Structure 1
Amino acid sequence: MATTSRRHRKRKLKADINVVPYIDVMLVLLIIFMVTAPLLNVGVDVNLPQSDAKPLEQSKKQPVVVQVQRDGALSLTYEGLDRPQAVDRAALVAKVRGFVQADPQLSVYVAGDRDASYQTVYEVLTLLQRDAKVSRAGLMGAPADSAKAK
């Protein structure tokens, strides 16, 4: 008889999950995200120069390098020259246009001095693309390690 009474008194297991704490955590996270989301859109306005620059692909030939000094003076380096040749804007356009007519896939890089005006460097890049008809013009830089060493 003792065994039959045990069977009838056995309780059913409750398999429900208490979700109230999870709802509380979800609401707190929702409030945190609602407060921080507008703060993530804060930015700094930068007045960048405008240009019709196009993307640049790599070439296997030696590129032409236009150097812009800190005072805005220009010099040109190309294959066959030992040292950079000082040029003005008109001579730069004429020479580079001649190089590009000989080889339309020629790459031209603009190497601006760190203290040169960004506007001046960008104007030279635009001048090369617009007037000298350079299809592959880009900016040249130095790796971060060599810049720290100077």
Structure 2
Amino acid sequence: MKRKRIRNTIKSDINIIPFLDILLVLLMIFMLIPSKWIQSFEVNLPNSPVTPNIINNEKLIITIEILGMGFYNLIINTKHVEKVRLDQISSEISHQTHIAPNITCLIAASKTVEYDEIIKVLNLLNKIGINSIGMITNPSV
């Protein structure tokens, strides 16, 4: 009879291993989810009905279109130069700064162009000494 009573009694010990497994899983969830929220935030830029028109100014406008793969189109006011390299852009803009020191450079690039190409152009313009740089975007409707 003693054996029947021992088998039917309930253990009062806590099994801690499954409890720790659940705690570790919850800890990982709470560590990973906030980092995903921080890294994928949306930017809601303000719209303005009044946009500055830089073309009406007395400045020389140079537009650099980034084609990718190390090729660029260069537009100096109405003169178009197609498929040039970065060193050719550097020499042309340096020549233009000697003629007219008041220059505005605009950078145009597709969404698919690598960010590295844009940084190369920005670094080049910084070395030349161009302070007025803009990015061309589609106007909001």
| 1:72–1:115 Cα change, 3 Å | farther
What is the alpha-carbon distance in structure 1 between the residues aligned to residue 94 and residue 67 of structure 2?
A: 22
The residue type equivalent to 1:123 in the other structure is: K
State whether residues 104 and 132 of structure 2, in contact with CA within 8 Å, keep that contact through their aligned partners in structure 1. yes
Q: Give yes or no for the alignment of 1:143 onto 2:139.
A: yes
From 37, 41, 44, the counterpart of 2:39: 44
Residue of structure 2 equivalent to 1:113? 110
Q: State how far apart, in whole Å, the 2-side matches of 1:103 and 1:143 are.
A: 29
**Which structure has the greater CA radius of gyration?**
1
Counterpart of 1:97 (choices 94, 98, 112) is 94
- 1:69 maps to which residue? 67
CA contact (8 A) 1:111 1:141 kept: yes
Match runs of 1:13-24 below 5 Å: none
From 48, 57, 60, the counterpart of 2:58: 60
Q: Percent identical across equivalent pairs?
A: 14
Partner of 2:129: 133
TM-score with structure 1 setting the length: 0.52
Report the Cα distance in structure 1 between the residues aligned to 2:134 and 2:78, rounded to whole angstroms. 21
Preserved CA contact (<8 Å) 1:125 1:138: no
User: How far apart are 1:80 and its partner, in Å?
Assistant: 3.5
Q: Which amino acid aligns with 1:76?
A: L
Q: Distance in 1 between matches of 2:70 and 2:110?
A: 9
Runs (5+) with no aligned partner, structure 1? 1-38, 46-57, 146-150
The one-letter amino acid of 1:103's match is A
SS in structure 1 of the partner of residue 38 of structure 2: coil
Tell me which of the two structures has the higher relative contact order, counting C-alpha pairs closer than 8 angstroms and 6 or more residues apart. 1
1:122 corresponds to: 119
Question: Any gaps of 5 or more consecutive residues in structure 2?
Answer: 1-33, 41-53
Deviation at residue 136 of structure 1 after TM alignment: 1.3
Describe the SS at the equivalent of 1:69: strand
| TM-score, with length taken from structure 2 | 0.55
Q: In the alignment, residue 44 of structure 1 is paired with which amino acid?
A: Q
**CA apart distance, 1:62:** 4.5
Tell me the secondary structure at the aligned position of residue 108 of structure 2: strand
Q: CA RMSD, aligned part only?
A: 2.7
> C-alpha separation between the residues in 2 aligned to 1:116 and 1:73?
11
What CA distance in whole angstroms lies between the structure 2 residues aligned with 1:114 and 1:96?
A: 25
Q: Which has the higher strand share?
A: 2
Which stretches of structure 1, 4 residues or longer, exceed 2 Å deviation after superposition?
Answer: 58-62, 83-86
